[in-house]
Amino acid sequence: MGKFPFPKMYGAVTVGERGQVVIPAEIRKIFGIKNGDKLLVFAKPGGPIGLIPAEEFSQFLEHAAGMLTAIKKTAPRIE
């Protein structure tokens, strides 16, 4: 199933004066998040807020671009 078969709560965080939060150690360990890693922050109005490692998102975009290129090559032309 993957790393998260079902949602799980890993604790609560407090937003500091500068808007900073600490990601719980267990989550950092599960996802291999280390000091200095870049995370992208995604949200929609009203929540939820998500964090995605920038490198993984970059790899996803490269993969998606490759898939779109392959689809364009094999799709029938409509004129």
Q: What is the per-residue DSSP string for the chain? A: --S-SS----------TTS-----HHHHHHHT--TT--EEEEE-TT--EEEEEHHHHHHHHHHHHHHHHHHHHHSPP--
Would residue 44 count as lying in a domain? yes
Q: Is residue 49 part of a domain?
A: yes
Q: Is residue 3, in this structure, part of any structural domain at all?
A: no
Q: Is position 57 within any domain?
A: yes
Domain around 66: 36-74
Overall number of domains in the chain? 1
Angle at the Cα of 24 (from 49 to 53), degrees rounded to 5?
55
Q: Which two tokens stand for residue 70?
A: 């392959």
Whether 10 is in a domain gets the answer: no
Residue 15 in any domain: the answer is no
Please report which confidence band the pLDDT of residue 22 belongs to, taking 50, 70 and 90 as the band edges: very high
Instruction: Render pLDDT for 38-71 as a digit per residue (tens, 0 to 9).
Output: 999 889 898 788 888 888 888 888 888 888 888 8
Within-domain flag for 65: yes
